[in-house]
Structure formats: structure tokens, C-alpha cells
Amino acid sequence: MAEYTFREIENKWQAYWEKNQTFLAKVNPDKPKFYTLDMFPYPSGAGLHVGHPLGYIASDIVARFKTLKGYNVLHPMGYDSFGLPAEQYAIQTGQHPAITTEQNISRYTEQLKNIGFAFDWSKEVRTSDPSYYKWTQWIFMQLFNSYYDQDADKAIPIDSLVSRFEKEGNRSIKAACDDETPIFSAEDWNAFSEKEKQEMLLKYRLTFLAETTVNWCPALGTVLSNDEVKDGFSERGGHPVERKKMMQWSMRITAYADRLLQGLDKVDWSEPIKEMQRNWIGKSIGAEVIFQVKDSNETIKVFTTRVDTIYGVTYLALAPESDLAAALITEDQRETAEAYIEVAKNRSERERMSDVKTISGAFTGSYAINPFNGEEIQIWVADYVLAGYGTGAVMAVPAHDERDYNFAKHFGLEIRQVIEGSMEEGSFPGKGGLIINSGFISNLYMKDAMIKAIDFLEEKGIGKGKIQFRMRDAIFTRQRYWGEPLPVYFKDGLPYLIEEKDLPLVLPEVDKYLPTEDGAPPLGRAKDWTYKTADGEYPLEMSTMPGWAGSSWYFFRYTDPKNETEFASKKNTDYWGAVDLYIGGSEHATGHLLYSRFWTKFLYDLGVVSIDEPFQKMINQGMIQGRSNFVYRVKPLFTGAKGQEGEKANLPMLFVSKKYHDDIQNGTLSIEDKNTIEEKFKSMFVNLNPTYEYHGLKKIDTSEMHVDVNIVYNDQLNLEKFKAWRPDLADAEFVLEDGKYICGFEVEKMSKSKYNVVNPDDIIERYGADTLRLYEMFLGPLEQFKPWNTNGIDGVFKFLRKLWNLYHTQGGEFQVSDAEPSKEEYKALHKAIKKMEEDMANFSFNTSVSSFMICVNELSVLKTNKRKILEPLAILVSPYAPHISEELWSLLGHNTSITEASFPVFDEKYLIESSFEYPVMINGKMRAKIQLDLSLSKEEIEKAALADEIVQKWLDGKAPKKMIVVPGKIVNVVI
Ligand code: ANZ
């Protein structure tokens, strides 16, 4: 075989790997384990573009490297295959989403296999497969059957809570539960009806049904989670989202807030991602304080992080949604206050939080009493107070809080500063300290005062210390078809789990994928959506699970994907443990990455897994942006007769190369160029519009148009392909520069509408998968955002050809010699080995590609063909370019896969320089240079220096007065 025929080679080895099951995750007890994972894709209809495999290539390189280093490697791939796009397509076409999904998966798999990934396909999982979602449903059931015990700081079976209720009621039980859970005794409990008991337990279960304010998206017909809403619009599709109260399933993730926070210190993730999670969790330490409403039985509870400022409270503010606010409105304020509430309620929370400029609110007419000093203060409604945070009410301290300050300023309310010392011991309810009316001071924090104030609150029963989290419980249902059914039926309006033996509860068939006429979710259309128990037949839950359910535990299933009796065996999850390297996009920072940590902690509490953080090390790859190309169409401004003004005439498809477009836009177009363009335009125009009279152009202008980047090479447009691209371009003509049409370019998001999507299949067709893999890594650091620019791909391809040529004679014969390599040859190789080791430790992939290139260049100059160099070189390159390496490996006479080889051992000795060029100074001036072996002794160096021709000339037969030799540095001669 003479040439580097990449297509043949790649097909051959992909078939070999498949046949020999090369990438099965093996468990050899003598070896350590390494689990490397990619965030699995949603198989969309558009297939993969070159941005998708970026992270997969990186993890594949690590997987292959670790294998060579003697690890048992698990490197699986699968599909997050429930989701909206397939369902939207089903709504439009009637095609079952399972069929669309299946087709998309086949396409993805084929594309992935083309890239030569070392995935263990036997481990593949699909979240929409009943054998998989059986276990998603099972985990849901475990959550339903558990509560969070704050004393034990873990989840515990709900049965044990029931036995405690029977014995002691709930007063002394510290458990995560709904905010307004009433206190009851053992007698109360035992007297409860079954329905009352179940209702009470729902307040404790880790997954529960409750009326919740949700993000409702009417266009999608479903509820969305906070991270699926961006600025009041759905992330998918950009539809408006409104706030609405609905009965919803939620996950009590807030019970795990503290552990989710603490766990972040144990994992090796980027700081920005950790910080996003910390902010999302949003822990605040403060207190709840109860204010009595004047002349009323009502009280208002506020959450504050600054009890120490309580003497500076000049009004209370309630969220517009608050029922209490409505009740406190007095007759004389009714009109303004109610009108205000109506408007304010419809502003989204996000809008209200981000808008600090619009200050709006209304006085209710009622007053509250400050429990510390008995002062009467006004109660207001203000939309800067959020219903969903704290208690939905604030004690406003305008002198110390900026929003309160702005509000007070706006409405002319008192601003009263509290200064240090106002909370001294014994002063409760004190004098109120020293109070001055003044402006806003931002930072007055008195920790001791806070602690004392909280003690006082608790003693008097008017409040308590409270830790508040910004994080909300996670809504767990969607009113959609293409998701996991919840294993729940309803009896007397209350939810019950189906029996475990009836799992999986399979998605039923429906006639349409739309809500029913009376607004129930699509599952309401299923014929027999009921559950039969010994005592009757009951309706099943019609909502399905959200997109994040299946992805919250898939990393466990990969360890044991075919297990029919457990979600994964303990033996396997124990063996593979936490994911050692997780690669995926940073867009999942607060969604998937929080939910999967939560489920892992829950499964850990249950004792079914032994880790409580799923992803030890994570790298977030940067997005590959598109590099769009543009062509420039001549846009004429006619002089001439009416009717010719372009409206009715057929306008020529005339395109000018970039230079002319730039000149036209800058006003620097030369007369000759202008004439050329006008001439061409005229002849085309006259041809197209024989009945028109042509009067010439007033002005030439150009408009830019995206052109498919796949018909542009190094910014040069392929004219024939361009004409064939769209029917209206068939007769296009061009004004070229130096015989070429040069396109403009810009870096933008990779998207179909910008015609800048590059399909890896096309690159593979043209250059091969090995080039694609190397090139994606060569583009720059993995984490960086970078444009896809094919301009450098030829260089990478040439590198592979050069590599190939090292193993072949000029005539194309495979030939290696068994001779001992030279020092230089060893040095070139060992430099590259060292670099690769270092790069792998830092996950720096682009730099290794450069070092391969340097190495191959050096070896080419040295005309290396020694087996002792070329064998390790093939191994070295194999994680990046596995196909060519396998081929070379087999040409070298091996009959097993190169993946079974060992990574070459770096030896420092090859990098140590053996000789040194000594500068020879004569009377302080550098006069000569001599190359000497570094092993020489002082005396030998002296001798060699004196023997040098130039030195002898300077000495002129005399002996030097003095000689100083510093080995490895310098020789000094004094004459
Ligand atoms: C009095 C006060 C004085 C406050 C002061 C702050 C500074 P974080 O840290 O985010 O938890 N607050 C409480 N509930 C609120 C709600 N539902 N909507 C809007 N604001 C709310 O913030 C807690 C502080 O935010 C609380 O402490 C309360 O104002 C306000 F110098 O109370 B503070």
C-alpha cells in the first residue's frame, strides 16, 4: 500500500473494533479503574455537527490514554431520548415520537461510529426505553416513600416517620416538610382518618403533590423549570411564560440544600460552575420576626438577615401575591391598592428582580407594631418583595438596605439610621439606641447584636433564627406525552404508588399528542389509563416526568445497563464509583448537575450506592462557533424610467468578490472596477428583461448573503457548487479578483439558518476521522469558545501523511529498520512522550497535537525509520488518531490491537544534552566558541580550550597567566 488511504484504513479498523469488541469495559482485578463520561446527547433530528463531538473526542483520548496506562476503563455512550422536539414533531406530523427518536438515534450512532470512538456500546442506555425508565420510576417511588430527617441528616423510610407520629406526634421531629405543617400530638395522629394521614405525609415525602406557583407556558402546553425559562420566555422555542398556581409534583431538593453546598468543596470542578451552584442554592442566615398587626389578630412574619437593624424599621412591605396584603387593605386605600396589586402580580419574578429602577407600591392603610419598641409602622405592598422567597414579607430598613432606601425616598417614608451600640445587652426592648435621620449606609453588620437579638426573639416567642435558601423545591411534572409516566394512581383524590411488580408503567398509546378538549395532559386521551387494585380501578396520573428525570442517574445505569432486578448492582456501582472525568457543556450548571447530585445523595442515603458525589472531576468544553461565509450581491439603484425601478424587473444574480464589496462600502471603488461591474450588470439585466429600456445605474450597492460554508474552501467560493446550491442561483455570474471569488466571514453561533453548520461526516469523507479528531483538538484549549475554521485542516491532514511516510519508503513500501536509533531520534521521541504525559495530567489537548507535529517534523528531517522509535510513536499518537495508528501497528507486525499496547515509558536521559558550546573569554572578551562533551573534567576542558586554533593565536606561543573553567558554563583565559 503506497498512499495513506484513510477511508480504507478507517473502515477496516472500525469493522475490526466492532467484530472484536475491542472497547468492552474489562474488569481486571489487578488494575485500577477509570470512569470517563460524556454528557449524553438528546438525539435531535438535525444530527451531529462538528461542535458536538468536541467533548467526546477529548474524553475518548483520555479513555484510550488510560487504557494504554493500564487502567480498566469505562467509557460509555447513550441517549437522553425523552424530550420536546420529538413530541413537537409528533404533534405536527402524527408520527409517534418513539419512531422519530429511534431514527435519530440510528443516525447519531452511525455518525459517532464514523469518528472511531472507543465507546463500549454494549453499555448503551436510552432514557425512553421502558427497561430504563422502569428504574427512573423506581427511584421516584423510593423518594415518595422517604422523608428527610434533619437529626440524622439523611433520608429515611417514611414508615419510620409514621411509627414516630403514632408514638409522639410531630412536635419534636426535625424533618424537612412544608412550611405550614401544623403541629399534632400522637393522639391527634391516631385519630386522623386515612385521608388526613396521607395528606399529612405528603407534607414530608421527598416527592410530593402540592399547589405550587409554576412557570406555565401556554404555547408548549406545559410547566417549565426555572432553568428552562430565560427572561420570561421558554428556552426552547422562545414562547412567553406566565406564573400560575397549579397542583404539581415536586422534589424536595431543598432538604439537601446544605449537603449540596458542602459537597461542592469535595469535587474538582471549575470555580465559576461551583459559584453558580452556590448562588443558586443561595444560603442566607437570618431570622424570622413576627409583627403584630395593629387592632387585629393578624400577624406578619418577615425574614431578615439583619435583625440588628430592627430599630431602623420604618415600614413593612408585603409581596403583591400575598393573601394577607389583600386582607389588610382598608376602605380608603382600596382603589389604589387593589389596582396596584393587579398590575404588579402579572410581572414575572425575574422581571421584578432585575428591574431596580421602576419603584412602585401601595399603602394598605394598615399598621403593624414593632415588637422591639412598640412603634406603629405602615404596611405597604411592594413588588420588589418576592412571594416565593423567605416569608414573602420584609421589614424595611431604608437606612441600611438599598431597595428599601429607594422605596422610602420615592414615597417619602422615614429613613432612620441605626448605629452600633443600639443593641447592647439589656436593651431589649431597648431605648432603640442612638437614632439619627440620615442617608443610606450600606454596611453595618453586628454579628453579636444579631445573635442577641435572635435570643431575645426566641425567648419572647416573637420569632426565631432561620436559615433560608434561595433554591426552591424542583417541580417534577410536565403536562406532556413524551416522558416517563409517574407510577401513581389516585384514590379519593390522594396519590398512591402502584406496586413495584407493575413497573415499568409503560407510556400508553394516544390518538394525538395534544391536551384533551378539557385541558388534561395528552395521557388523558389514552383508553385505559387506570390502575386496578384488589378494591377497584383508579385513574392514573396523567402528567409525565420532566426532561431531567432520566439524566439524574444514568451514570449508575451505565455500570450495569441490562440489570433487570436492580437499577444497578451495588457491586458494579461500587467498582466504578464516581465518574473520574465528566465532560460536557456549562449550560447544565444549575439544572442537570444539581439534580443528579441530589439523586446521588438520596441513593446514598438509601444505601444502594456508596458515593454521594457523582462527578469527581468535570471539564466544561467551550462551544464551537460557526464561521459563516458571505457572498455579496449587487444591489442596484436605478436612474431611468419608472417600472424599471426593480420592482417588476428580474434582477440579475450578480455577485462581486469581497474586495469590490469592501471598496463599494468604503467608497473606494476604482473607475475601472465600477465600469466592469456596471457592464456586467447591464448585459445580464438586458438579457433578463428584453422588454425594458435600460437607463443605467445611479449607484451600485451590495448586500451580503450567507452562503453554505460547505461550498467554500479557504474562503474561496466554489462557483459551480454555488450555482447548483439553489435553483435561483443557476444563472449567477461573478466579478472575480485574481480569478477567484473570495467570500467574507464572521464568527457566529453554529446554526442552520446561517448556513455555517459543518457536518462531521463531510469532513470525514474529505480528510478522514483521524484528521477530524486531531483537528478538533488542535483548534485550541478545550474549555475555550472557538470558531470552526477549516482553513488549518489541510495542515493537520498533511501531518498524518508525514507520519505515514516515516514508516514507508519513497516508493511507498512499508519499511522499518531494526538499527539502534541515534540520540537525536530518541530525543525527538522522548520530548513528545514527556509532553503528552504532562498534557494528559492537565487535560491540555491542543498542545499535544503541536508536540506530535514537532516530533514528526524532527523525525522526518532525521529520515527516521527505526522500529525503536516508530513503534512507541504509533502508540503515542493512537489516542488522537486511532485508525492510522492501528494500521501502522499491524504493519509493524503486531496481530493485536494497539489498544492492548502499553504507553511508552519516558526516560529523562534522552533529554539531557550531551555536549555544550563553551564561550571562551580572553581578557574579558568573547573570542571563541568550542563544542565539548559535558562529561569532560575541568582539566580536560582546559586542555581542549588551549588546543583551540583561535585561542592559540591569541596566546601567541605564551602560556596563559590564569585560567578559570566553569564546567557547563564558560572558559576564561587571562593572558
Ligand atoms: C432587614 C434588612 C436590613 C435586610 C438591611 C437587609 C439589609 P438574602 O441575603 O438574599 O437572603 N428580603 C427578605 N425576604 C424578601 C423577599 N421575599 N423579597 C425581597 N426581599 C426580601 O436577603 C435577605 C434580605 O432581603 C432580608 O433582610 C430582607 O431585608 C430582604 F440593612 O431585612 B432584610
Residue (of 738, 338, 776) closest to 583 by Cα position: 776
Has residue 218 been placed in a domain?
Answer: no
Is the distance from the beta carbon of residue 948 to the nearest atom of ligand 1 less than 6 Å? no
Is the distance from the beta carbon of residue 305 to the nearest atom of ligand 1 less than 6 Å? yes
Which pLDDT score is estimated for 543? Answer: 95
How many residues make up the chain in this entry? 975
Same domain, 711 and 792: no
Which residue's CA is minimally distant from atom 27 of ligand 1?
Answer: 304
Band (847; pLDDT cuts 50, 70, 90): very high
pLDDT > 80? residue 356: no
Which ligand 1 atom is at minimum distance from the Cα of 468?
11
Domain count along the chain:
6
Distance CA 108, CA 526 (A): 31
**Residue 758 vs residue 231, higher pLDDT:** 758
pLDDT > 50? residue 731: yes
Best mutation site among 283, 288, 303 for ligand 1 pocket (most ligand atoms within 8 Å of CB): 303
Residue 290, amino acid: I
**Could you tell me the three cell numbers for 297?**
389578630
Report the separation in Å between the CA atom of 306 and the middle of ligand 1, taken as the mean of its atom positions. 8
Give the DSSP H/E element, type plus range, for residue 294.
Answer: none
What's the DSSP call for residue 910?
A: G
Which pLDDT score is estimated for 441? Answer: 34
Give Cα separations from 925 to 786, 918, 958, 971, 974 (angstroms). Answer: 51, 13, 18, 11, 10
Which residue's CA is minimally distant from atom 2 of ligand 1?
Answer: 306
Has residue 234 been placed in a domain?
Answer: no
Is the distance from the beta carbon of residue 417 to the nearest atom of ligand 1 less than 6 Å? no
pLDDT digits (tens, 9 = 90+) for 806-827: 999 988 899 999 999 999 999 9
Strand partners, 656: 632, 735
CB-CB contact of 395 with 291 (8 Å): yes
Distance CA 436, CA 415 (A): 9
Q: Where are the beta strands (DSSP E) in 773-843?
A: 786-787
Is the distance from the beta carbon of residue 805 to the nearest atom of ligand 1 less than 6 Å? no
pLDDT > 60? residue 642: no
**Could you tell me the three cell numbers for 172?**
419534636
Same domain, 609 and 733: no
CB-CB contact of 487 with 297 (8 Å): no
Which residue's CA is minimally distant from atom 9 of ligand 1?
Answer: 284
Residue where a domain stops, chosen among 469, 504, 531 = 469
What's the DSSP call for residue 808?
A: B
pLDDT > 70? residue 928: yes
pLDDT digits (tens, 9 = 90+) for 911-922: 987 788 899 999
Q: What is the mean pLDDT of residues 442-463?
A: 72
Residue 327: partners with Cβ closer than 8 Å, 6 or more residues away: 298
pLDDT > 60? residue 146: yes
Q: What residues make up the domain containing 92?
A: 23-139+548-623
Q: What is the mean pLDDT of the chain?
A: 91
Band (342; pLDDT cuts 50, 70, 90): confident
Report the separation in Å between the CA atom of 320 and the middle of ligand 1, taken as the mean of its atom positions. 16
CB-CB contact of 280 with 594 (8 Å): yes
Pairing of strands 786-787, 716-717: unpaired
Helix (H, G, I), strand (E, B) or coil at 132: helix
Give the DSSP H/E element, type plus range, for residue 839.
Answer: helix 823-842
Residue 567, amino acid: F
Same domain, 661 and 559: no
Is the distance from the beta carbon of residue 284 to the nearest atom of ligand 1 less than 6 Å? yes
Which ligand 1 atom is at minimum distance from the Cα of 392?
17
Report the separation in Å between the CA atom of 303 and the middle of ligand 1, taken as the mean of its atom positions. 7
- To which residue does cell 461510529 refer? 113
Which pLDDT score is estimated for 549? Answer: 97
Distance CA 767, CA 757 (A): 17
Pairing of strands 624-638, 697-707: antiparallel
Band (225; pLDDT cuts 50, 70, 90): confident
Give Cα separations from 653 to 631, 658, 679 (angstroms). Answer: 11, 16, 14
Distance CA 123, CA 120 (A): 6
Same domain, 643 and 567: no
Q: Where are the beta strands (DSSP E) in 806-957?
A: 915-922, 925-933
Give the DSSP H/E element, type plus range, for residue 482.
Answer: none
Written in H, E and C, the secondary structure of 398-457 is CCCCHHHHHHHHHHCCCCEEECCCCCCCCCCCCCCCCEEECCCCCCCCCHHHHHHHHHHH
Same domain, 384 and 441: yes
Has residue 736 been placed in a domain?
Answer: yes
Best mutation site among 280, 322, 386, 394 for ligand 1 pocket (most ligand atoms within 8 Å of CB): 394
What's the DSSP call for residue 782?
A: T
Band (444; pLDDT cuts 50, 70, 90): very low
% of the chain at pLDDT higher than 90? 75
Is the distance from the beta carbon of residue 397 to the nearest atom of ligand 1 less than 6 Å? yes
CATH code, domain with 930: 3.10.20.590
Which pLDDT score is estimated for 424? Answer: 46
Strand partners, 922: 925, 973
Q: Evaluate the CA torsion angle 393, 399, 405, 411 in order and state its sign.
A: positive
Pairing of strands 970-974, 915-922: parallel
Q: Kindly tell me the burial class for residue 291, based on how many C-beta atoms sit within 10 Å of its own C-beta (0-12, 13-18, 19 or more).
A: buried
Is the distance from the beta carbon of residue 394 to the nearest atom of ligand 1 less than 6 Å? yes
Same domain, 352 and 418: yes
Distance CA 283, CA 445 (A): 17
Residue (of 274, 67, 29, 28) closest to 840 by Cα position: 67
Residue 219, amino acid: A
pLDDT > 50? residue 429: no
Has residue 520 been placed in a domain?
Answer: no
Is the distance from the beta carbon of residue 390 to the nearest atom of ligand 1 less than 6 Å? yes
Which pLDDT score is estimated for 1? Answer: 47
Q: Evaluate the CA torsion angle 814, 818, 819, 824 in order and state its sign.
A: positive
Report the separation in Å between the CA atom of 404 and the middle of ligand 1, taken as the mean of its atom positions. 9
Give Cα separations from 560 to 119, 133, 638 (angstroms). Answer: 15, 14, 72
Which ligand 1 atom is at minimum distance from the Cα of 400?
31
pLDDT digits (tens, 9 = 90+) for 681-708: 999 999 998 888 887 888 889 999 999 9
Band (335; pLDDT cuts 50, 70, 90): very high
Helix (H, G, I), strand (E, B) or coil at 170: coil
pLDDT > 80? residue 359: yes
Residue where a domain stops, chosen among 469, 504, 539 = 469
Best mutation site among 359, 389, 445 for ligand 1 pocket (most ligand atoms within 8 Å of CB): 389
Which pLDDT score is estimated for 426? Answer: 39
pLDDT digits (tens, 9 = 90+) for 824-843: 999 999 999 999 999 999 99
Same domain, 453 and 326: yes
Has residue 561 been placed in a domain?
Answer: yes
Q: Cα-Cα-Cα-Cα dihedral of 853, 855, 860, 865, to 10°?
A: -130
Which pLDDT score is estimated for 819? Answer: 97
Residue 974, amino acid: V
Which residue's CA is minimally distant from atom 12 of ligand 1?
Answer: 394
**Could you tell me the three cell numbers for 898?**
494497539
Residue 470, phi then psi, degrees to nearest 5: -75, -30
DSSP 76-87: ---B----HHHH
21: left (phi over 0), alpha (psi -120 to 50) or beta: left
Give Cα separations from 516 to 219, 247, 525, 528 (angstroms). Answer: 15, 18, 6, 15
**Could you tell me the three cell numbers for 87?**
413530541
Same domain, 49 and 83: yes
CB-CB contact of 539 with 169 (8 Å): no
CATH code, domain with 802: 1.10.730.10
Is the distance from the beta carbon of residue 468 to the nearest atom of ligand 1 less than 6 Å? yes
- To which residue does cell 457566529 refer? 748
Is the distance from the beta carbon of residue 311 to the nearest atom of ligand 1 less than 6 Å? no
Residue 680, amino acid: K
Q: Kindly tell me the burial class for residue 942, based on how many C-beta atoms sit within 10 Å of its own C-beta (0-12, 13-18, 19 or more).
A: middle
- To which residue does cell 413524551 refer? 482
Is the distance from the beta carbon of residue 385 to the nearest atom of ligand 1 less than 6 Å? yes
Same domain, 462 and 359: yes
Angle between helices 53-68 and 823-842 in degrees, nearest 10: 120
Report the separation in Å between the CA atom of 279 and the middle of ligand 1, taken as the mean of its atom positions. 15
- Which of 155-169, 449-463, 827-841 comes out lowest in average pLDDT? 449-463
% of the chain at pLDDT higher than 70? 95
Residue (of 225, 872, 226, 844) closest to 547 by Cα position: 225
Strand partners, 289: 302, 463
Which ligand 1 atom is at minimum distance from the Cα of 319?
17
Same domain, 721 and 816: no
Has residue 459 been placed in a domain?
Answer: yes
Peptide bond into 371 cis (omega under 30): no
Residue where a domain stops, chosen among 423, 442, 469 = 469
pLDDT digits (tens, 9 = 90+) for 371-394: 988 999 999 999 999 888 889 999
Give Cα separations from 753 to 107, 498, 757 (angstroms). Answer: 21, 47, 9
**Could you tell me the three cell numbers for 494?**
390522594
**Residue 67 vs residue 326, higher pLDDT:** 67
Residue 124, phi then psi, degrees to nearest 5: -50, 140
Same domain, 935 and 949: yes
pLDDT > 80? residue 351: no
Which pLDDT score is estimated for 519? Answer: 78
Is the distance from the beta carbon of residue 469 to the nearest atom of ligand 1 less than 6 Å? no
Report the separation in Å between the CA atom of 392 and the middle of ligand 1, taken as the mean of its atom positions. 10
Residue 532, phi then psi, degrees to nearest 5: -100, 125
Band (419; pLDDT cuts 50, 70, 90): low
pLDDT > 80? residue 428: no
Report the separation in Å between the CA atom of 341 and the middle of ligand 1, taken as the mean of its atom positions. 21
- Integer-rounded Cα Rg, in Å, for the chain is 37
Which residue's CA is minimally distant from atom 18 of ligand 1?
Answer: 385
Which residue's CA is minimally distant from atom 19 of ligand 1?
Answer: 385
Distance CA 551, CA 28 (A): 29
What's the DSSP call for residue 819?
A: S
**Could you tell me the three cell numbers for 228?**
428552562
pLDDT > 50? residue 433: no
Is the distance from the beta carbon of residue 352 to the nearest atom of ligand 1 less than 6 Å? no
Same domain, 172 and 114: no
Band (438; pLDDT cuts 50, 70, 90): very low
pLDDT digits (tens, 9 = 90+) for 503-528: 999 999 999 998 888 778 999 999 99
Q: What is the largest CA-CA distance in the chain?
A: 121
Distance CA 967, CA 938 (A): 6
Report the separation in Å between the CA atom of 393 and the middle of ligand 1, taken as the mean of its atom positions. 9
Is the distance from the beta carbon of residue 710 to the nearest atom of ligand 1 less than 6 Å? no
Is the distance from the beta carbon of residue 306 to the nearest atom of ligand 1 less than 6 Å? yes
Which pLDDT score is estimated for 440? Answer: 31
Has residue 131 been placed in a domain?
Answer: yes
Has residue 791 been placed in a domain?
Answer: yes
Helix (H, G, I), strand (E, B) or coil at 151: coil
Residue (of 361, 268, 347) closest to 317 by Cα position: 361
Q: What is the pTM of this model?
A: 0.84
CATH code, domain with 388: 3.90.740.10
